[in-house]
Amino acid sequence: MEKEPYLKELYARNPPGSLDKLQDKVVGIAGAGGLGSNIAVSLLRAGVQRFVIADDDRVEISNLNRQYYFLDQVGMEKTAALQQNLLRINPHVQATLHCTRVTADNLTELFSEADLLIEAFDAPEMKALAAHCWTRDFPDRFLIMGSGISGYGMNNSLSTTVRGRMVICGDQQTPYSTENGLTAPRLGIVAQMQANAALEILLDGKISY
């Protein structure tokens, strides 16, 4: 299908004028697991068409309870599998996928063209790394973080906190543990909170919390 007719129909129910505002925006996503894969799909469906995504992991069966992957993608690099899934929704998406581990030495270079960065790591130390590097090198660009995503229930404990250009979604106190586990509903809520915050920033230039 030709690009313009397809995009017009695909995004027919999105907010009027939003596609024009989003067409040149670039979203960086650090991590392509439970948060990152769901955030990417949600923002693509919201009209974002340019992404930079980095992750060095492969799809495992244990990921399928919460991550946007499928059984026939087990064993694939997550970046390759995610690109495949994004293209199935919008074959015109422009996604730069890096199958590499994000470090303090490469984060700035990997995401330099992003208008904002969404942190989607599992490990607390990686979240801290993203916060340190991004706020140091791009103090005028928003960073959207997920913190406190494990377990289930407790909907009202999830919130969005804004600290300057840093936005934190989650309960900020429930790190992953084998006792708490990870479930698609609760993790998915936080992923959508992050995506929704990013969408507001991209469309309005600010976040209203």
Q: pLDDT per residue over 150-195, tens digit each?
A: 888 888 999 999 999 999 999 988 776 778 899 999 999 999 999 9
Contact 66, 50 (CB under 8 A): no
Task: Name residues whose C-beta falls within 8 Å of residue 178's C-beta, 6 or more positions apart in sequence.
Answer: none
Determine which helix (DSSP H) or strand (DSSP E) holds 145, and give its type and residue range. strand 143-146
Residue 29 DSSP one-character state: E
Instruction: Kindly report whether the global pTM for this prediction surpasses the value 0.85.
Output: yes
Q: pLDDT per residue over 40-78, tens digit each?
A: 999 999 999 999 999 999 999 999 999 999 999 999 999
Domains and CATH numbers, the chain: 18-204 (3.40.50.720)
CA distances from 162 to 50, 86, 104, 117 (A): 25, 29, 24, 15
| Structure token digits, residue 204 | 């309005």
Residue 97 DSSP one-character state: E
DSSP reduced 3-state for 90: coil
